[in-house]
Homo-oligomer: A and B are copies of this chain.
């Protein structure tokens, strides 16, 4: 059993706490959060002790930490945990600022840092990746990533979110890199405010189309909207020399109703915690594998920096109206 500590007991922290507590190889020993109510709730549910960050880092029996605190603390906590010899499971994004993220490279040299790009752990996207890897469609040529939220977040959130590209499309940039197996060479992005004028007034967009191009001319189109109107819309189509493989949305059940109006399938899952429930579990299993030394992190610091670089390039393209070379 590996003892691990949770830093940050908010919404995503609670998910990770429950998964850690249920994992047969992990014990959630400590929970750290300045908000006493939040940390105590997690402690009560899991049997972990409420603790301070310093105490956790000083405790040699703690093998790893989960960094689920606010984004501006991610880098600092990662660096401190690495210095204390802990393995790290850090929530995405690494940071809001590319330069800051890059500046941490030296301090994180050699870190066992697993960055939580959860979509890579979704069974559906993993099945897609497996089909690409086993040659089901020949050589991958183009990608179409559709990534629409069910409904826009409050404007208050939008204002501190870092903008659509860093807050929302960052996942899609990571998926593009993961599936293409190559860094995009050029980015072009257009964006609009079609969903909620208040988002525009806050200086952000709610709808975007981003095109990535690799050095050898392969493409990835990313379609983002803050509101789908029908649920959590997370689909990918991958075209290769021998066909296409795609991931469809997940329905709440397999029920179909046939009436005069047509054939109606159930609703799409509406909430990311439902859609990615299994992905979060798989992340914790991966962290256990890292702690046990069976594998290294499959996604980490350099991936976090690269996704952030794409997000900044997209934002720059949106501003200039021109393609941006990376």
Give A contacts to B, CB under 8 Å. 22, 24, 45, 123-124, 126-128, 131, 136-138, 141-142, 144, 146, 148, 188, 190, 192-195, 207, 209, 211, 213, 216-219, 221, 223, 225, 227-231, 233, 239-268, 321-323
CB <8 Å contact, B262 and A265:
yes
B-side contacts of A256, CB under 8 Å? 245-248
CB <8 Å contact, B245 and A218:
no
Bound Cα distance A249, B263 (Å): 10
B-side contacts of A136, CB under 8 Å? 257, 259
Question: Known: A217-B193, A259-B137. Is A225-B254 also a contact (CB below 8 A)?
Answer: no
CB <8 Å contact, A217 and B246:
no
B-side contacts of A211, CB under 8 Å? 188, 190, 209, 211
Number of copies: 4
B-side contacts of A263, CB under 8 Å? 230, 251, 264-266, 268
B-side contacts of A266, CB under 8 Å? 127, 262-263
CB <8 Å contact, B230 and A259:
yes
Q: For A22, A148, A257, A264, which residue has the most chain B Cβ atoms within 10 angstroms?
A: A257
CB <8 Å contact, B190 and A219:
yes
User: Lowest 4 A-B CB distances belong to which pairs?
Assistant: A192-B217, A243-B259, A127-B253, A248-B254
Question: Known: A240-B229, A258-B230, A260-B230. Is A221-B223 also a contact (CB below 8 A)?
Answer: yes
CB <8 Å contact, A264 and B261:
yes
Question: Known: A228-B239, A246-B258. Is A253-B123 also a contact (CB below 8 A)?
Answer: yes
CB <8 Å contact, B221 and A243:
no
B-side contacts of A128, CB under 8 Å? 255
Question: Known: A242-B259, A263-B268. Is A194-B209 also a contact (CB below 8 A)?
Answer: no
Bound Cα distance A216, B241 (Å): 37
Question: Known: A127-B266, A266-B262. Is A230-B244 also a contact (CB below 8 A)?
Answer: yes
Cross-chain pairs A/B with CB under 8 angstroms, 11 sampled:
A123-B252, A124-B254, A144-B146, A188-B188, A190-B213, A192-B213, A192-B218, A228-B243, A229-B260, A262-B265, A262-B266
CB <8 Å contact, B246 and A124:
no
Bound Cα distance A221, B251 (Å): 26
Question: Known: A192-B217, A209-B219, A221-B223. Is A245-B255 also a contact (CB below 8 A)?
Answer: yes
Q: For A243, A261, A266, which residue has the most chain B Cβ atoms within 10 angstroms?
A: A243
Bound Cα distance A257, B127 (Å): 11
B-side contacts of A249, CB under 8 Å? 254
Bound Cα distance A261, B267 (Å): 6
Given contacts A142-B225, A243-B259, A264-B265, 13 further A-B contacts (CB under 8 A): A24-B45, A148-B239, A227-B241, A229-B240, A229-B244, A229-B258, A229-B260, A230-B263, A243-B257, A244-B258, A248-B255, A262-B268, A263-B266
